[in-house]
Structures are given as C-alpha cells and as structure tokens.
Amino acid sequence: MLQTIGEDAFSTVVLTSAVPVLVHFWAPWCGLCRLVEPLVDHALKASSLPLRVVGINADESLKLASQYRLRVLPTLLLFQNGEVVGRLEGFHDRQDIQRRLTHLLHQVTAISSPQLADRHR
C-alpha cells in the first residue's frame, strides 16, 4: 500500500531522501488515480531500482499542487536529490500509464546508475 504524506512531511520524506522518490499526486474523486497505485507497484517489482513511492492528496495539499504546477490528476513526479527529474501527467488509460511509467523508471536507472556505482567505490 502506498504511503500517503502531507505538506508537513514533504521536505523530510521527498526533498532530503537519499534515494529517488516517486510522488503520486491524486484526489479521492479521481477515478484514473486509482489505477496508478497497482501499476506503480507492478513496475517497481519488475525494477531493481531503489525507489521510494509516496502519495499526496492534491486536494489537501494545495500549496504543493500550486508549487509543482499540477494541471491534471493523476500526476507523477520523480524526485532525485530534491529536484524534479521526471513528470508524468495526462494519462489516457491503463496501458498508457504502464508504458510511460516503465519509460520513466528506465530513465531513473540511467540517472542513478553512476551515483550507485560511486557509492560502492
């Protein structure tokens, strides 16, 4: 199950994380938002990337929704070292979410691989 955090924990959980963090902005009224969580779980199980995933209710976190210029829900933002390095929004269906999420995870692997290699030196 996806850990849901609020604005008060965002800086600690996301911006200062030692591993990449995928943030799922959602709302209770958003039907497509409910499709994202199981697809994220499935994609992460297929990946060896150390990645943390959290959810944020956009209706209850208006400051973050404004700060990250959310235009549509669901929106997935990928953070690395406190910076947004990937953004997924405007999904059409389950297959579109899965395809784009897989592509994003491959990008993160490429970004993280040199850093992970440096840690082992």
Structural domains of the chain ordered from first start: 3-119 (3.40.30.10)
| SS3 state at 90 | coil
Of the residues 33, 43, 53, 56, which is catalytic?
A: 33
The angle formed by the CA atoms of residues 22, 27 and 68, to the nearest 5 degrees, is: 50
Confidence check: pLDDT of 96 > 70: yes
Tokens of 118: 């440096």
Strands (E), the chain: 3-4, 21-26, 52-57, 75-80, 83-89
Q: What is the pLDDT of residue 17?
A: 95
For the purposes of burial, counting CB atoms within 10 Å of the CB of 71, is it exposed (0-12), middle (13-18) or buried (19 or more)?
exposed
Q: What is the pLDDT of residue 28?
A: 94
Task: Tell me whether strands 83-89 and 75-80 are parallel, antiparallel or unpaired.
Answer: antiparallel
Active site residue 30: yes
- What integer best gives the mean pLDDT of the chain? 85
Distance CA 6, CA 15 (A): 13
Which helix (H) or strand (E) segment holds residue 32: the answer is: helix 31-45
Of the residues 30, 32, 35, 39, which is catalytic?
A: 30
pLDDT digits (tens, 9 = 90+) for 47-93: 777 889 999 999 999 999 999 999 999 999 999 999 999 999 987 77
Active site residue 33: yes
